[in-house]
Structures are given as C-alpha cells and as structure tokens.
Amino acid sequence: MGAARFQEASLQDADRLVSIVGVPGILFLSPLSARSRIRPLRLALPIAGQGGGSLGTRMVAALERLLRLPEIDRALVIGTDSPDLPVRLLRDAVQALREHPAVLVPAADGGYVAFGVHGAHARSGELRRVLRPVPWSSPHTCERTAEALRAGGLEPLLLETWFDIDEPSDLDALRARLARSAHDRNPDEVAPHTAAFLREWQAPPDPDALSG
C-alpha cells in the first residue's frame, strides 16, 4: 500500500513538473491497464502504453511517439521515480536540445533520470541502432549510453547528476533533499505530493514494490 501511494505521489509530481516547464507531454504507463487506477488522480498529461521490449526499446518508442506530435522537433523522456527533479534541470535539458543532438541527466546510481534527442535522429530509426549495445538497469547504463551516442555521431551533453528512487534507503535521502528545498529552492521546484506522502507515512516500504 505504501509503495502504491508513493508511486501515485510521484506521478502527480511528474505531471506538475511538465506543466510548470510548459512543454507538451505524454505519460507512458506499463501496463496500460494501470490507467484505471490512476484516473482519480486527474493528471493533466494524456496517457499511452509503453509497449513491449527492453527498457531501451520502450524509451525509443516513447521518443518517437512524442516526435509525432505537431511542431515537435526534440523530445525528452524522464522517469517518475525522480519526483524532486528540479524544474531548472529539466528546463536546461529542454534548452540543450536546441544546440546538441542528445542530452543526458545522469542518475547517482549510474543510470539516468532524463534522456533527450533532437528529432532528426529518432525519426530516422538511427537511435534504435545506436542504443542496441547499451546494458539497461546497470551501474554503467549512463556511461555506456553516452559512449554509444558518441560512436553514432550524436555527441551528448551531460548535465548535473540527480537522484532516483530504487531502494528503500533512497527515501531517507529524498526526505533530506525535500527538507532542504523547502528552505533554499523556489517553491515551484519542490515535489509537494511526494513531500506530503513522506510526512504522513513512516513505515519502511516493500523493497520489491519500490524497485518494480
């Protein structure tokens, strides 16, 4: 129950983050049937299924779908397991794609919390080929992704490292960041739904549920 409530709060904060940055977006769910459970959250983002395949396959499919939206020439995917991703960092990633073919926001655990490309590369199908050798969900995912992009002629810009939530212990660090942000960060950048959940719920979450 606690893990489900945490995921709902993270979804609400991701929805709010995209709204603040002011870019169009889609919430990609897996499985798509989960939309019936989150419908009461009244999210602003439209919902679509992730489809099948590896994480990389699903990520590229999401980028391709975003790039089919009218007048969209660059696209970025973010995970909902990084609820306190700063507004400024997401804006920097969006802006970076004006001058760079790809952008990565590394995660402290070796993955990444955001990945974006300029439309010309995703539309051509080139991105699928470039990312094929990348090991997903590994401590080297971000490093290998950057290497694969460079080898494919898509020099990525790596921005500031941020954090995602994979283990129960990550919640303590999240609590500390949210407490600091309440004092020294613009209120628009605080994850209010996740912060409220963490204030109300103290029991240790189910590790399997959080990492799924």
Pairing of strands 47-49, 74-78: unpaired
Structure tokens at 111: 């993955």
Structure confidence by residue, pLDDT tens digits, 21-32: 998 899 998 877
Can you give the pTM of this predicted structure? 0.87
Structure confidence by residue, pLDDT tens digits, 101-130: 999 999 999 999 999 999 877 776 788 889
The 3-state secondary structure of 16-69 reads: HHHHHHCCCCCEEECCHHHHHHHHHHCCCCCEEECCCCCHHHHHHHHHHHHHCC
The pLDDT score that the predictor gives to residue 101 is: 94
Task: Confirm or reject CATH 3.90.190.20 for domain 2-211, answering yes or no.
Answer: no
Of residues 116, 90, 121, the one with CA closest to residue 104 = 116
The pLDDT score that the predictor gives to residue 32 is: 77
CB 53 within 8 A of CB 136: no
Does 97 score more than 50 pLDDT?
yes
